[in-house]
Chain A
């Protein structure tokens, strides 16, 4: 039987594991950890952590899973990481704290609306389909430079007010 205080401490360490690509947010901020429980791991009392991957091909997921196992190992607790695909991860699971941290780091957090091509037919002038606020200066006057950015989860934008480029965490 594992000491509940120790388990709680280890769980805290696990949730504090940073995203290797965006180290200002933790995997808990991302909402990747779905469940932490004590479990029998290969015949030893240990912990089972259920995670839901962000993007199918995101290479950071492996680093995160390894770090979670390492957090347990540091206290001599064997950890089993289980991947659960369904329900699929969505940026809605990202914590408010995570969003604030992203913004401070210079990445616009997910808006909750997906970027889409303009609907067919005439597009009314001045109607903005989606507002992405510049994390540097706070202006809403920003434009998309590239839908696909430096990692699977980000798009590249530019602020028309302060002229700075910035990353946007894509809504999925």
Chain B
């Protein structure tokens, strides 16, 4: 019998990677320097690779007839069927916003993949073993930029601080438990997101201190609902762009 929670858990991880890769790809030709075009493109490529493996596996676990493959899941699902957090779907702000988001997200991913290295789901453990080394580079990249901008000029400091404040309300959702994660933790497939929060905060706080930045006050609201398929307005536009080619030319290949 298909365990829908297992599928949803994998979709959550895969969709986070996929949707963030889509957003990061938008930086190509828009980053402040060509090295950053390449860096963010490379980060996106790693995330696409993780998403492909995770979505393929989710389709296999789901075991529909016929089995939904990575393309079916990425390109033919509707907005309400995506399980990513709202953090990754937000439009890119300026470069400081992206570094704030990348710092939090890659720190979260690093803790997550480290925790699922011992997953009873061997495919997930394999993906994690590969991905943990990749996201280590992502986190390091974001760290260096946050240090440079935070401890840079007054202007770069102020804008980095403003970016942290803008991104902060989307961070809590990464650590929110949901039914699929509870099932996954119970069956040692995955972990409770809330179990990662302390480690994520400890790292980010350390970076911010060194960067002479302040952790923003607790936000008055925070995003929620992504794991249940409730997304912000921007998600529909993102999917329209990401999926239109595949939907316009079903089955096309080269």
Contacts and interface: CB of A to CB of B under 8 A. Distances in A.
Same assembly:
yes
Interface string A111-124: 00011110010000
Contacts of A116: 140
B130 A53 contact: yes
B42 A85 contact: no
A117 B38 contact: no
Interface range on chain B (Cβ under 8 Å from partner): 20 to 34
A89 B126 CA distance: 10
Contact of B49 (A57, A117, A146): A57
Contacts, number: 82
B129 A85 contact: yes
Contact of A148 (B52, B125, B126, B141): B141
Nearest to B46: A57
A147 B126 contact: no
Contacts of B136: 114
A85 B130 contact: yes
Contact of B137 (A53, A59, A156, A170): A170
B125 A86 contact: yes
A81 interface: no
B125 A57 contact: no
B130 A156 contact: no
Contacts of A90: 133
A145 B35 contact: yes
Contacts of A128: none
Contact of A115 (B39, B45, B126, B140): B140
Nearest to B131: A56
B137 A57 contact: no
Contacts of B144: 117, 147
A87 B52 contact: no
Given A56-B131, A114-B136, A172-B134, 18 more contacts: A53-B49, A55-B46, A55-B49, A57-B47, A59-B45, A85-B123, A85-B130, A86-B122, A88-B129, A88-B130, A115-B140, A120-B210, A147-B137, A147-B140, A147-B141, A149-B38, A149-B42, A172-B137
22 contacts: A56-B46, A56-B49, A56-B50, A56-B53, A56-B134, A57-B46, A57-B49, A57-B52, A85-B53, A85-B127, A86-B126, A88-B130, A89-B130, A115-B140, A117-B144, A117-B147, A148-B42, A148-B43, A148-B141, A156-B35, A172-B133, A172-B137
Closest CB pairs A-B (n = 6): A56-B49, A57-B49, A85-B126, A146-B35, A148-B39, A86-B126
